[in-house]
Structure 1
Amino acid sequence: MSKPWAITRENGKLRHKNAANSRLAVFIKECRKSKLLLLFLLPAFVWYFIFYYIPMYGLTIAFKDFQIMDGILGSPWIGFENFNQMFHTYEFIRVLRNTLIISGLKLLFVYTSGIVLALVLNEIFHDKFKKIVQTISYLPHFLSWVIIGSIMIELLSPVSGLVNNIIKALGGKAIYFLADPNWFIPVLIVSDIWQSVGWGSIIYLAAITGVDPQIYESATIDGAGRFTKIWRITLPSIMNVIIIMMIFNIGNLMNAGFDQIFNLYNPRVYEVGDIIDTYVYRVGLTQMNYSFSTAVGLFKNAIGLALVLLVNRVANRFGQTGLW
């Protein structure tokens, strides 16, 4: 004689299995209906599989004493020795600290600058002037950091740079901005704002256009000023977009901007400007210590994934829309 709890458990498993089969059948049916659309996506799937997923096998060298002549398969396993060495290396502690500081400042100033610009542009009623401002603010996004780095070097040159010429004309002394640890991080933040603020404001402007104009009209009738409408209507209406973009930015917290820093830094500012990505490049490619640099890169990506999961969970917990 079978026990009631056993029957209940079997029935529960059966229902779960039937539900899973039903979802699979629906998925297959939808794929058949959209087979032409999926065919268009096939090149993208192949691209990502070949260039993103297959190379993931190379991450195993983080757990090996990798030798080029022996290859990945022939190199001996050493377990977590590279990670143990990483956490006991002063340079890694320094680059981890620099990465968090620079990324945190960029999250505070660069990320919010796009929101501020979108709010300001939304308050401009002169369409022609508004388009001019948008165009000027978008242009730097289309310049590579090689070009922007060259522009910054010329502008901030202690000998012939425009900024230092103005300082000297006002009676001050020339400042070597890109070789002074006290000035290097502010230069990074300002140049990143200049490069990305226009492009970063696009998605917020799109979200603001979706706000019902009647809400603003009602607020105007009630006597609300511009700042009140921004604080009480605009920001709450686009909060979901702000949260989603913040999750993306926090997911990139461990990146800090390799292209920008690589084109602007030098050994004199390593103490404040050397980040994980530049450290991995220098140790991995210059010093040919592939296993150790792979371990550092794997650690960075693992922390980035953990931050995305954490922030998404917190956003959902407080009633905001996360990534899923």
Structure 2
Amino acid sequence: MSVKGGKTGPEAATAESPLRKGPTDAVLRASIWKRIHSHRNLYFLFIPVFAYFVLFKYWPILLAWVVAFKDLQLGSGVFRSEWIGWQNFKDIFYSPDIPNVIRNTVEISLLRLAVGFLPPIILAILFHDMATRRLKKWLQTFVYIPHFFSWVIVYGVVFGFFSVGFGFVNNVLSGLGMERHEFLLDSAWFRPILIGSALWKEIGWSTIIYLAALATVDAQLYEAAVIDGAGPLKRMRHITIPSILSVVTFVLCLSLGSLLSAGGEQILLFYNDAVFQTADVIDTWVYREGLARLQFSLATAVGLFQSVIGLGLVIGSNFVAKRLSGRGIW
């Protein structure tokens, strides 16, 4: 079949058919606005959520960056206070207390991580492998409850155990003919009591994320392993741990990001003058120097410093985790 110009077959179809073009920017914009208009009721419902995050999450972050570089005066407000640049950060690092404060913070945070990281994983695996569902629910409830106690209640429990006058531990020591000991006033015992009480409070709640990960593991893998003769330890090594390794990496990276946050609320309740040199951390220093003395800019500068270091630690730990295991947060 001949066509005009002497071309036939596919060549003629190609010559006469126009080039296909994608939608223009105007068409795309019109399509987006059309979809927004069709779902306008959902967007109206989203407005309060958006306003909440802007007003109570992102706006305070912006104010914190501004206040950290100003000499905040309550009468002048944030934006009319004097801009002093890096002076707040200089005051922080020129303080004679800061080396001891940072050392205590890092040491206590590393102790929390070393002592408190593996027990929730082990407990979650034990819960996952538990055959009796009713017993499993009771035990989970029992270990979850301490998470909902305030630190004031936790300190009351600790005081009831370790008080020199009527504490359970000292009563046992006295009954055995041993001398009572001031555990709560002893620097050597402060950190073990601090870390132990924090572990007791949070170990159950920390298992939830691992139990959620274990719930996604295919049960047929365990059944096949049992048929092949794999015992509980081999099943845990070759199925359970690899299945939750990405979650473990995620939690570890986020935990490293809070290395400069040693649990100030708990320490404020637990520490005293006798253990001050061992217990003073960044959060307690901020409370004492920044809030008690109304140096709000100084306290904000410390918070900004913690945030920047935490972000760097999260990014660094994620990079290392991806290089070593191929898994990371993103």
Fold-level similarity (TM above 0.5): yes
Q: Is residue 47 of structure 1 aligned with residue 52 of structure 2? A: yes
Equivalent pair of 1:149/1:263 in contact (CA under 8 Å) = yes
Compute the displacement of 1:93 (Å): 1.7
Pair 110,22 (structure 1): closer, same or farther in 2 beyond 3 Å: farther
Count matched residues: 307
Compute the displacement of 1:226 (Å): 1.0
Compute the displacement of 1:28 (Å): 6.3
| Distance in 2 between residues matched to 1:24 and 1:41, nearest whole Å | 21
Q: Is residue 210 of structure 1 aligned with residue 222 of structure 2? A: no
Equivalent pair of 1:240/1:320 in contact (CA under 8 Å) = no
Compute the displacement of 1:24 (Å): 8.1
Equivalent pair of 1:103/1:253 in contact (CA under 8 Å) = yes
User: Of 227, 231, 239, which aligns to 2:233?
Assistant: 227
Query: What residue is the counterpart of 2:16 in the other structure?
Result: none
| Distance in 1 between residues matched to 2:214 and 2:58, nearest whole Å | 37
Query: Which amino acid is the alignment partner of residue 49 of structure 1?
Result: V
Q: Is residue 137 of structure 1 aligned with residue 159 of structure 2? A: no
Query: What residue is the counterpart of 1:197 in the other structure?
Result: 203
Compute the displacement of 1:161 (Å): 0.9
Query: What residue is the counterpart of 1:310 in the other structure?
Result: 316
User: Of 173, 178, 192, which aligns to 1:172?
Assistant: 178
Pair 174,214 (structure 1): closer, same or farther in 2 beyond 3 Å: same
Pair 92,34 (structure 1): closer, same or farther in 2 beyond 3 Å: farther
| Distance in 1 between residues matched to 2:276 and 2:129, nearest whole Å | 42
| Distance in 1 between residues matched to 2:104 and 2:154, nearest whole Å | 22
Give TM-score scaled by structure 2 length. 0.84
- Give the 5 Å matches for 1:1-324: 35-55=40-60, 56-318=62-324, 320-324=326-330
Structure 2 residue ranges without an equivalent (≥5): 1-22
Query: Which amino acid is the alignment partner of residue 81 of structure 1?
Result: Q
Pair 226,303 (structure 1): closer, same or farther in 2 beyond 3 Å: same
Q: Which has the higher helix share?
A: 1
Compute the displacement of 1:34 (Å): 5.2
Query: What residue is the counterpart of 2:15 in the other structure?
Result: none
Compute the displacement of 1:27 (Å): 7.1
| Structure having the higher Rg | 2
| Distance in 2 between residues matched to 1:312 and 1:279, nearest whole Å | 30
Structure 1 residue ranges without an equivalent (≥5): 1-17
RMSD (Å), alpha carbons: 2.6
Question: For 1:76, what is the secondary structure of its paired residue?
Answer: strand
| Distance in 1 between residues matched to 2:309 and 2:32, nearest whole Å | 33
Query: Which amino acid is the alignment partner of residue 231 of structure 1?
Result: R
Query: What residue is the counterpart of 2:20 in the other structure?
Result: none
Give TM-score scaled by structure 1 length. 0.85
| Distance in 2 between residues matched to 1:60 and 1:291, nearest whole Å | 9
Question: For 2:97, what is the secondary structure of its paired residue?
Answer: helix
Pair 207,76 (structure 1): closer, same or farther in 2 beyond 3 Å: same
Identity across aligned pairs (percent)? 40
Pair 94,222 (structure 1): closer, same or farther in 2 beyond 3 Å: same
Compute the displacement of 1:32 (Å): 5.5
